[in-house]
Amino acid sequence: MSSGPSYTSMNGHHIPNGSASYRVPTPSGTIAPHPDFRQAYHTNGYSQNIYQEHDQKIVNHLYENGFKQGEYADILLHVHQNVYRLHALILSRSPFLVHLMSTSPQVNGLKTIDVQLDREPEITLEGFYIALGYLYSSHSLHAIQPHNARAVLAAGCLLGGMEELCEYAYETCKRSISVDTINSWLEFIDKLPATSSGTETPDVSPISVFGFYAQRIRDDIFHFLVVTLPEILELHSTPNNGTPSSPEPTGREVLLQVFSRVPFEMFKAAVESPNFQIDVKGSDQARFKFAKEAIEARKRGIARGSGCEETVVLAFGGGNSGGSAVHITRKMRKRPLWKVNS
């Protein structure tokens, strides 16, 4: 005796197992087998995009009415002075918010969660709002701009579960690195923990809210300083007759101003890098001369009052193709000894 068909329960509906035996109505009134009903729409004169349009309507409804208007909310989310009426099912996309929801009390039918951002100064209210909105819809991507991209990236990394948002915000950050913005980016990386070794681009502490994006941004800034900035300033260009030309004074001055603010470990790695070419030959002598000028500028800038002394040496036979190498060192200044007369 054969057994009857088995059924799967989905949200209150009993659907027979075996897609061939389950048929759904199409807009034309015909019957199409499941799960190929999308293809049936196409063959019956209906566009395959009909389900995409339907899904988009749902997403738009969630974003406009659920996120922006807070209708039918079951969660109150507090962050600084702001309160958002949100939905647990949508917030469950974020591992961070799932934890908060599971450990927060429920009052008058609404669960209240409090997000503390005091220890995350990189996360602004604007960045947090954009990341929250992304839980509802990709529409939030349109709000990411160079001025808020870093804050969005920080918020996305904190909330978790939104790799696409983080990647989009990171790429916006990367494209925003320029001569005009490099100083603010240098201030940013100066806040990140660095290793004591200057032979490579410094590592970033894993406790950073940015995770591995912090190191990627630091690498991008390093590449900008070593390769892109000298090219922008045309420091190793040649005239049409083929004879080397001196760098434009303004270009060199800009480079010195920038490097007077670079944190030491990155300054050391950049100047010692053979890829840092500030003349047409890319010589060690040119980097050595530039390093001496930069160190003098740094005494009036980032190195001022640090209690450390930076020096540069040109070591012949250093092992590179030019037969010499530039080395940057830093040591604590010796305290003066005072003679006490008896």
Domains of the chain, start order: 22-60 (no CATH), 73-175 (3.30.710.10), 177-332 (no CATH)
At 226 the pLDDT is 95
| Residue 296 structure tokens | 């003098």
**Sign of the CA dihedral 274, 280, 283, 285?**
negative
At 52 the pLDDT is 86
At 209 the pLDDT is 92
pLDDT at residue 15 greater than cutoff 60: no
Measured in degrees and rounded to the nearest 5, phi and psi for residue 300 equal: -95, -5
Confidence of residue 37 (pLDDT cuts 50, 70, 90): very low
CA distance 310 to 283: 21
Question: 72 or 191: which carries more pLDDT confidence?
Answer: 72
Confidence of residue 250 (pLDDT cuts 50, 70, 90): confident
pLDDT at residue 300 greater than cutoff 60: yes
Tell me if 164 sits within 8 A of 191, measured CB to CB.
no
Confidence of residue 278 (pLDDT cuts 50, 70, 90): confident
